Structure 1
Amino acid sequence: MPQPQAPEPKTASSPARKGWLRRTGEWCAEHAVVVIMLWLAALAGLQVLHHSYAGEYSDDFSLPGTQSQHGLDVLKAHEPLAGGYSSQIVLSDHDRPLTAVSGQLSAAVAALQRLPDVLAAQDPLTVPSAPSVGPLSDDGRTAYITVRFSVPPSTLGGDYLQGVDSAVAPLRAAGVQVDYGGGLGELAQPEPNDRLSEIVGFSVAIVVLLIGFGSVAAAVLPLITALFCVICGLALLGLLASAFVFATVSPTLATMIGLGVGIDYALFLVTRHRQNLMNGDDPIRAAGKATAVSGHAVLLSGCTVIIALSGLWVSGIGFIGTLGLAAAVTVVTAVAGAITLVPAFLGLAGRHIDRLRVRTPIAEADGEPGGESGGESGGESGGEARGSWHRYAQRVERRPWWYLISGVVVLAVLAIPLFSIQLGHIDDGADPESFTDRRAFDTMSAAFGPGSNGPLTLVVDQSAVPQADRPALAAQAQHGLADVPDAAAITPLTPTSDGDVLIATAYSVAAPQDERTTELTNRLADDILPAAVSGSAARTYVTGATAAQVDFLDIVSRRLPLIIAVVVGLAFLVILAVFRGLLVAIKAAVLNVLSIAASYGVVVAVFQWGWGGPALGVSGTVPIESYVPMMMFAIVFGLSMDYEIFLLSRIHEAWLRTGDPKASVAHALEITARVITCAALIMVSVFAAFVISDEIVVKMLGLGLAASVLIDATVVRLLLVPAVMTLLDRRAWWTPRWLDRVLPHLEAEGHDMAGEGEGTGLGRGAGDGPGAPAQPSRL
């Protein structure tokens, strides 16, 4: 491999026009009041539009092409009353059999049948059933009304529950315990309130910023701008929800990501601005230069996060793709706020940004590697820097293999639980006991077995079978459904009103989220049902909510590797285009994958193994929600690029100035470690605060994202990256000439163009070797 040549000594740049980012930053700082008023007007306008036109969030989604969807379509075509979306209303009375309230029960069923979007409601006292199948328990004290809707009940809106409550009011008045399961239970859940999580995250962020930088204004400013951006982003998301179907978890996810990146991006600009002030720039000029330099990194990082989130559309599932879109909305507003609202606040604060302080303010130490550092955390003038981070970097430089192996071992140990991961769908049994769907789940499990909460509808389409052969086919199919492993009970096959379809219901011996239920569903769909009708023209399906969840899991499992490949590939190309180093790009992709694997291991240990799950409010152990790893990968991979670009840009900048790769690593680590550490602690606190949510999926995402950022900013960014960059030496910046010619020229951080000697680039002459530092593109 050709060795990259060291760059020539730095030369002064000639005066040139300012880039658009610097002009934007200076204009916003100079017209601070106008910019802030425009943001306030936009916020108010978006809130008005949101109040008037915002759509509803819903977990309604379809899986076209799956066998469960085909089965549902067959039912709708041949037996509309059986082809809707079912939900259970669970009744229990500890003092007497429910036959004592048969009148009230009949009245409740009749009232339910009159509700809009209800196809049918089944009276449990009038339906003959085999033992252990329901809908009436053996002691007669527990029963469930099966209500079938023309649309998913979870999409009907909170007001719809008033009609359901009115219908079952006579039963409650008679002393019967009434709870809602399935879609009605989801509809009855309290609206998610993330305010406490936001307050906790903000409080920790203020403490971290005050301790890290000492200035009250510098600590509060990133939080204010992040809050502005998140509120605007959520309003935009609500408007988009009027045109697209977004999952109910979308606003929470958007809030988590928006707060995290919003604080980070603002922090990067504020840190650079304060250093510019310490170096003698006036506030307008300092804000403009900060926007030109760090603002460019923010743009690139934001685009990388959005690219990673866009990779979720590769799943082919709209539900997952729109989750990525929801998160991307607040990333866009965070970037917009960073390059406009942050400079405005900086201009408004002027030189008074550090007037209120809790200790001596600190910005980012900058200067030549091994030379004089700026700011109050600088090093010795003309000598080796004295900062603790610089000394740490030198220790890494002396023993890079030791640090590399230690970091890899830590990641490997944390990733061990990943090898036993069980993807699935978390059922209602994991919800808080205060939720009606949890009470309904427990009551059904006690009276009818855990599988009663996730019945499987078996469909045999015999429309292509001659009439004379149908009785024999029904007998053959019924015989094939005898003694099915892991099936607690399977009802007899019954024909639809037109006789073209046979229907039965299967109940698992385990809860819907249990792996045995997933295996039973796949076994019935792939083996048992097709074998039961072999030799005929009949087609078979397994449908229902549980079967749809299993199909969803199968799709996610198949496409997760593709999403990982796409996201990693795109991020690899971004790093390669920015830093022109093939090995740097490979290193970034590999280390990010390792850190995400470690965070997966943490999530599996807590939720699936139960290590600390009860302390987080999780009842028992639960599988990993099928789409959580996919979401975590896209989000974390995008967010980790923030720190990757921030650190590598400083290493690259020092390499361009000096041509000393090892000293460049130490210098970059010294001047970025404090900012990366504070930014990571803030993001960790924001994400971790969401583990107090009542929703298990939100807990998973909050813990997973917090663990990912913590691992990435400590083990990877402050240990593995310096070790690997030291070992790669000059080879890190090597790129084949042919690849360098075809790659677009991007840049991690912008450069001042006013002839002030900031970030001068070096041209590549005809005699330069492959991978020698190239002339950076200019803003």
Structure 2
Amino acid sequence: MSPSPAPRPSALHRTGAFCARHPVWVITGWLLVLAAAFTARHAVGASYGDEVSLPGSRTAVGADLLERSDPAAGAPNGKVVLHVGSGRVSDHDTGLDATLDRLRDLPHVTAVSDPVTSSDGATAYTRVSFDEKLKSLGHAYTERLDEATAPARDAGIEVAYGGDLHDIVRTPADDTLAEAVGVSAALVVLLLAFGSVAAALMPLVTALIGVGVGMGVVGIVAGTLTFATAAPTLATMIGLGVGIDYALFLITRFRQYLIDGEDPQEAVGRTTAVSGKAVLVAAVTVAVALLSLYACGLTMIGRLGLAATIAVVVTAAAALTLVPAAMGLVGRRVDLIRVRRRPVAESAGDHDGWHRYARVVARRPWTFFTAGFLLMALCAVPLFSLRLGHIDDGADPVGSTTRTAYDWLADADGPGFGPGANGPFTLVVDLTRATGSADRVADRLTDTLATTDGVARVTPPRPSRDGRLLVATVVPTTGPQSADTDALFATLTDTAVPEALKGTGASGYLTGTTAGRLAFRDTVTERLPLIIGIVLVAAFLLLTVVFRSLVIPLKAVVLNVLTTGASYGILVAVFQWGWGDSLLGMSEPVPIESYVPMMMFAIVFGLSMDYEIFLLSRIAEEWHATHDNEQAVGTGLALTGRVISCAALIMTAVFLSFTRSPTVVVKMLALGLAVSVVLDATVVRLVLVPSLMFLMGRANWWLPRRLDRVLPRTTV
């Protein structure tokens, strides 16, 4: 009887072996793709902007009515703020008049209002309207503004730019330093983990190439779709983190095979077949979590998820092809230029520190589970004080032109000034179906709003050019990011305006930048549960298929939610409560940006599942080989503890380096992701997961037989 033929190698095994046999061609191909991606990115002219669209919302309806009735009223605009240390701005009328004339002559400027002056005359501002979105004018337009305002400066008037002019004058974030710091920190961790320069450089170089290609693709797509300004930074941050981690897991397994005496090319093929499948499942999980952001119906957030997904997909492709090519090229020289005497791979033996730790957890699972759970719960406590909002110019660095303009307007007295001047509401009243006169409606509005708590001033409602609308400006007593302004928006929308218009047949809408951002926040809050539900269900189904268990996916979902809650709590403590915010270059506490929790949930859940899959895949290997739960959990923990810890250190270093960004939202995401990775890779993966699996025993692998027959067959 002839022996049965050997099983055909998997597609991943064949891919890895091919790349190992032809490393020069594969590496050259990636470098050519990198060059082509960057060339195409510059050719298409990427477009980035933070415009929020809420079709059908009351703020959008009000804006549409205003634009149709008076296009000039809805034109993009900003404020040029003028200030003198002593005397009055009007004392320098020659320089002031020349500046106003020059502003009117600027390209794309359609109108320049007469200056509004404070009670003491020391501060004034003029509103400048444009015929294009301010973001499209680019940062270079700042030079034109400076040239136009030069006469005022020469006359002794200080000038700053506020309102929506921040889209022009804010210096584009340069994350080169952050990337350099993150890469340097990653190199140090890799040297300590691998013990040789060659092994440390491989994951770093391959990840950088993958991220470079990914950013080129993001730029190409941005030529068609407008991404948020934070999209490139977010994509770089996520791509660099997962790219290094994926390469780290592959190279660690490869070195273990070499230590076990395997041929280098066969070791590459087996590595790609085994750890490569875990990388593939992890990348798919992250991509699903990020793309689920589209389900919220908010284009800006969905596209942020798309940009990060592109980076993850490209870096995963690099991990499955470029890393095997690098391993094939290096072969047994992976330990070239050692920095310590005995480099290790997955394990240093059955009696190393990780094996001893696994045995301690197995002896006292309740102790470890209780301690880990209490720590995570404590971190999550501030979550119950979470307040979503929008971060205004008052959080910009002290000395920046936007912060200076904000402070001058907030500190001055008189009509049009005070903290609320930085974020007024525009009230639009539709008179199309009104039963009474416009004057009667205007009087009722003025009387009601003037006595509403939180309103500093209301301009007399004026009719639009076609007479179909009444338009008024409502100035709050507090700044745009204040909780009192949030409350006023709700009062005006739900109570004050409807009561003032009751019985008149007219309809009122609050619009403007501040109203739009608060409406956006309310929409995000309303749809966050939908995103959470989609991600949880998708992750549960994926893990059920992969690990053939109902208990393991349920545990993973619950613990990942716990990680997210703890990360939210620390974010609230740092940014909203102001604990240590000065270390991040913040000048004051701020609310949590409305879309950060939604973004963080998708990203944190995806990254948490990375570590979950790498840990459980090792445990599952041992379980299927021995069917001894305690041995499987202990061995899986011991074999992955070192690499998960190193991967977490690398990703944390990468994320923390981006807290140097001048953009507060990037700081929030960077710190939140760094904290989540630390908590997940230490408390969750190395304490809660193994202790729970020790406690549950064979029940970890429970799956009803009928369901087992229905589910598709796959493993990690």
Please report the TM-score for the alignment, with normalisation by the length of structure 1.
0.89
1:659 maps onto 2:624 in alignment: no
Give the letter aligned to residue 526 of structure 1: D
1:607 maps onto 2:607 in alignment: no
The question of whether the paired residues in 2 share the 8 Å contact of 1:304 and 1:641 is answered with yes
Deviation at 1:581, TM superposition (A): 0.7
**1:598-619 CA-partner distances (Å, limit 9, x unpaired):** 0111111111111100111011
1:555 to 515, 523, 528: 523
5+ unaligned residues in a row in structure 1: which ranges? 1-11, 125-134, 366-374, 380-385, 749-779
Q: Distance in 2 between matches of 1:450 and 1:464?
A: 35
1:692-731 correspondence to structure 2 within 5 Å: 692-731=660-699
1:137-152 correspondence to structure 2 within 5 Å: 137-152=118-133
Equivalenced residues, count: 710
1:591-602 correspondence to structure 2 within 5 Å: 591-602=559-570
Deviation at 1:408, TM superposition (A): 0.8
Who is 1:61 aligned against? Answer: 52
The question of whether the paired residues in 1 share the 8 Å contact of 2:450 and 2:457 is answered with no
Q: Distance in 1 between matches of 2:89 and 2:551?
A: 72
2:382 to 411, 414, 417: 417
Q: Distance in 2 between matches of 1:456 and 1:715?
A: 46
How high is the sequence identity, in percent, across the aligned residues? 50
Q: Distance in 2 between matches of 1:13 and 1:643?
A: 38
Deviation at 1:29, TM superposition (A): 1.2
Structure 1 counterpart SS, 2:228: coil
1:263-662 correspondence to structure 2 within 5 Å: 263-365=244-346, 377-379=348-350, 386-447=351-412, 448-465=417-434, 469-662=437-630
Of 666-675 and 142-151, more deviation after overlay is shown by: 142-151
Q: Distance in 2 between matches of 1:641 and 1:604?
A: 24
1:673-752 correspondence to structure 2 within 5 Å: 673-748=641-716
Structure 2 counterpart SS, 1:716: helix
Give the letter aligned to residue 237 of structure 2: M
Who is 1:48 aligned against? Answer: 39
Deviation at 1:536, TM superposition (A): 1.5
Q: Distance in 1 between matches of 2:294 and 2:4?
A: 44
Q: Distance in 1 between matches of 2:152 and 2:4?
A: 83
Of 558-567 and 84-93, more deviation after overlay is shown by: 84-93
1:29-108 correspondence to structure 2 within 5 Å: 29-108=20-99
Give the letter aligned to residue 126 of structure 2: I
**1:49-99 CA-partner distances (Å, limit 9, x unpaired):** 112113121112311111111111111111222122331111111133121
Deviation at 1:361, TM superposition (A): 4.2
1:151-230 correspondence to structure 2 within 5 Å: 151-230=132-211
Q: Distance in 2 between matches of 1:421 and 1:427?
A: 18
Q: Distance in 1 between matches of 2:100 and 2:222?
A: 34
Give the letter aligned to residue 155 of structure 2: A
**1:675-703 CA-partner distances (Å, limit 9, x unpaired):** 00000000011001111111111111111
Q: Which has the higher helix share?
A: 2
Q: 1:291 to 1:458 in 2, by over 3 A?
A: same
The question of whether the paired residues in 2 share the 8 Å contact of 1:54 and 1:240 is answered with no
Q: Distance in 1 between matches of 2:466 and 2:147?
A: 35
The question of whether the paired residues in 2 share the 8 Å contact of 1:364 and 1:671 is answered with no
Q: Distance in 1 between matches of 2:341 and 2:17?
A: 27
Structure 2 counterpart SS, 1:481: helix
Of 354-363 and 390-399, more deviation after overlay is shown by: 354-363
Give the letter aligned to residue 352 of structure 2: G
Structure 1 counterpart SS, 2:473: strand
**1:298-350 CA-partner distances (Å, limit 9, x unpaired):** 11100000000011111110000000011111101111110111111111112
**1:201-238 CA-partner distances (Å, limit 9, x unpaired):** 11111111111221211111111011101111111111
The question of whether the paired residues in 1 share the 8 Å contact of 2:431 and 2:468 is answered with yes
Of 452-461 and 352-361, more deviation after overlay is shown by: 352-361
Q: Distance in 1 between matches of 2:556 and 2:155?
A: 65
Q: Distance in 2 between matches of 1:619 and 1:570?
A: 40
**1:656-685 CA-partner distances (Å, limit 9, x unpaired):** 111100111001111110000000000011
Structure 1 counterpart SS, 2:509: strand
The question of whether the paired residues in 1 share the 8 Å contact of 2:608 and 2:677 is answered with yes
Who is 2:231 aligned against? Answer: 250
Q: Distance in 1 between matches of 2:311 and 2:301?
A: 17
Of 667-676 and 184-193, more deviation after overlay is shown by: 184-193
Deviation at 1:106, TM superposition (A): 3.4
Q: Distance in 1 between matches of 2:198 and 2:374?
A: 41
The question of whether the paired residues in 2 share the 8 Å contact of 1:234 and 1:255 is answered with yes
**1:126-164 CA-partner distances (Å, limit 9, x unpaired):** xxxxxxxxx210111211111233443133212333333
The question of whether the paired residues in 1 share the 8 Å contact of 2:242 and 2:312 is answered with yes
Q: Distance in 2 between matches of 1:207 and 1:573?
A: 38
Who is 1:777 aligned against? Answer: none
Who is 1:240 aligned against? Answer: 221
Who is 2:16 aligned against? Answer: 25
Of 549-558 and 199-208, more deviation after overlay is shown by: 199-208
Q: Distance in 2 between matches of 1:34 and 1:282?
A: 21
**1:98-140 CA-partner distances (Å, limit 9, x unpaired):** 212334433433433344443422111xxxxxxxxxx210111
Q: Distance in 2 between matches of 1:122 and 1:553?
A: 31
Q: Distance in 1 between matches of 2:445 and 2:567?
A: 47
**1:615-661 CA-partner distances (Å, limit 9, x unpaired):** 11011110001111111110010011111001111111111111100
Give the letter aligned to residue 391 of structure 1: R
Give the letter aligned to residue 575 of structure 1: L
5+ unaligned residues in a row in structure 2: which ranges? none
Q: Distance in 2 between matches of 1:102 and 1:74?
A: 38
Structure 2 counterpart SS, 1:89: strand
The question of whether the paired residues in 2 share the 8 Å contact of 1:495 and 1:502 is answered with yes
Computed over aligned residues only, the root mean square deviation of the Cα atoms, in angstroms, reads: 1.5
Give the letter aligned to residue 449 of structure 1: G
Give the letter aligned to residue 300 of structure 1: V
Structure 1 counterpart SS, 2:117: coil
Give the letter aligned to residue 463 of structure 1: T
Q: 1:317 to 1:341 in 2, by over 3 A?
A: same
Highest RCO, 1 vs 2 (Cα 8 Å, sep ≥ 6):
1
The question of whether the paired residues in 2 share the 8 Å contact of 1:105 and 1:123 is answered with no
Q: Distance in 2 between matches of 1:28 and 1:361?
A: 28
Give the letter aligned to residue 24 of structure 1: T
Structure 2 counterpart SS, 1:181: strand
